[in-house]
């Protein structure tokens, strides 16, 4: 039906509800189109190809009361491979200005310290003590035999910072002490009788190794005068008895212990003394004793004396070297 070029598609049952009949509803709304609304075929034919205006529904639809259970469908994780992004992100150029938040100063009041600290009135004048530069003292060991005392001295000073065994001298090419020196990387020197007593070449060797102290550890030759004078109070010897007894030429090793046993002495020991031009006559520096029992043999006495030698000789040498700081007059 045409009303101002607008065709109304009137669905009477969507407009109203209740006990009224469709005919009466049409009469209420637009009575003059009653016949067309109740004749749908005729109305459809009349409104074909024309815009349709549909009035909003006034039917009240209450909310659904249907309960929907959660889905039980299993969805496996995606297996789609997503390669890492190749997008290059430039560093941010965003300028962040300094904070403008106002922070008031602290209101905590700190009282000044009341502890009185007077300034020091002690006057410390500059030190006038002369401290020479630290130097390592080089010592040489003279030996003629196996070198058990030499080994103890070398091992004693192995890790020392102020004393070092720098040379081992022997009058025998096959002396065991030479093997001990090579074992510890210490230079060796072999002397012969003619050069030892007829020349002063040995002083040049000692000077070459900067030797400041000499230790006689079982050396059998008498020391010549030139060497005694060059190392006055800087050369010591150890004797396996209590000097002045059982000393002199030929008194060394087992000869001394046999003499002690034969004498019936109740004690023996060791003597450390400075060296002069005579056998076993230098000033005594140190002595230590041990008992001689009636049943002791010369070999028993030798073992007791050797224990004293190994225990005390390195320590006495250390003290003598430390006290000896004057240069050698070659």
For 135-150, write each residue's pLDDT tens digit: 789 999 999 999 999 9
For 51-73, write each residue's pLDDT tens digit: 555 666 676 777 777 777 777 77
**Cβ 162 vs Cβ 134: under 8 Å:** yes
Say how far apart CA 218 and CA 137 lie, in whole Å: 22
pLDDT at 70: 74
**Domains of the chain: which residue ranges?**
2-53, 138-323
pLDDT at 141: 98
What's the pTM?
0.59
For 180-191, write each residue's pLDDT tens digit: 999 999 999 999
More confident residue, 235 or 77: 235
Q: What are the residue numbers of the active site? A: 239
Give the largest CA-CA distance in the chain.
170
DSSP 137: E
**Cβ 164 vs Cβ 138: under 8 Å:** yes
| Cis geometry, peptide bond prior to residue 174 (ω within 30 degrees of 0) | no
Q: Is 300 exposed, middle or buried (0-12, 13-18, 19+ CB in 10 A)?
A: middle
pLDDT at 38: 47
**Cβ 248 vs Cβ 280: under 8 Å:** yes
Residue 136 burial (CB count, 10 A):
12
pLDDT at 165: 97
Between CA 21 and CA 28, with CA 22 as vertex, the angle to 5 degrees is 90
Cite the DSSP H helix spans in the chain.
12-15, 22-29, 34-37, 40-46, 148-156, 176-183, 193-198, 201-208, 225-230, 254-263, 298-323
DSSP string, 170-239: ES-TT-HHHHHHHHTT--EEE--HHHHHH--HHHHHHHHTTEEEEEESS--SPPPHHHHHHTTTSEEEEE
CATH architecture for the domain at 138-323: 3-Layer(aba) Sandwich (3.40)
| Residue 118 pLDDT exceeds 90 | no
Q: Quote the mean pLDDT of the chain.
A: 81
**Cβ 301 vs Cβ 260: under 8 Å:** yes
DSSP, collapsed to helix, strand or coil, labels residue 103 as coil
pLDDT band of residue 155 (cuts 50, 70, 90) is: very high
Torsion angle of C-alpha atoms 160, 164, 165, 167, degrees rounded to 10: 160
| Residue 30 pLDDT exceeds 50 | no
Which tokens is 3 given? Answer: 């009303």
DSSP 64: P
Considering the chain, what percentage of its residues have pLDDT values greater than 90? 56
pLDDT at 94: 67
Which tokens is 99 given? Answer: 């904070």
Strands 6-8 and 2-3: antiparallel
More confident residue, 191 or 22: 191
């Amino acid at each position: 039906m045409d009303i101002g070029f607008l065709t109304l598609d009137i669905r009477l049952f969507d407009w109203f509800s209740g006990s009224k009949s469709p005919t009466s509803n049409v009469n209420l709304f637009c009575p003059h189109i009653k016949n067309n609304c109740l004749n749908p075929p005729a109305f459809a034919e009349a409104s074909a190809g024309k815009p349709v205006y549909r009035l909003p529904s006034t039917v009240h639809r209450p909310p659904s009361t249907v309960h929907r259970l959660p889905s039980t469908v299993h969805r496996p994780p995606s297996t789609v491979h997503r390669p890492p992004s190749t997008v290059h992100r430039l560093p941010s150029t965003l300028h962040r200005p300094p904070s403008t938040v106002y922070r008031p100063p602290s209101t905590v009041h700190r009282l000044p310290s009341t502890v009185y600290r007077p300034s020091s009135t002690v006057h410390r004048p500059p030190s006038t003590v002369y401290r020479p530069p630290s130097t390592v003292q080089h010592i040489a060991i003279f030996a003629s035999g196996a070198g058990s005392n030499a080994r103890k001295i070398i091992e004693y000073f192995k890790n020392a910072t102020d004393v070092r065994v720098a040379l081992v001298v022997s009058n025998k090419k096959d002396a065991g002490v030479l093997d001990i020196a090579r074992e510890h990387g210490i230079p060796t020197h072999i002397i012969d009788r003619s050069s030892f007593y007829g020349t002063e070449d040995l002083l040049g060797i000692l000077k070459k190794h900067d030797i400041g102290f000499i230790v006689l550890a079982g050396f059998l030759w008498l020391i010549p005068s030139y060497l005694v004078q060059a190392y006055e109070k800087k050369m010591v010897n150890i004797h396996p008895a209590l000097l002045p007894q059982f000393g002199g030429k030929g008194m060394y090793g087992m000869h001394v212990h046999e003499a002690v046993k034969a004498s019936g002495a109740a004690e023996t020991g060791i003597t450390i003394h400075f060296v002069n031009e005579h056998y076993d006559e230098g000033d005594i520096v140190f002595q230590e004793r041990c008992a001689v029992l009636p049943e002791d043999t010369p070999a028993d006495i030798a073992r007791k004396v050797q224990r004293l030698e190994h225990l005390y000789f390195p320590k006495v040498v250390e003290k003598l070297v430390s006290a000896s700081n004057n240069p050698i007059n070659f």
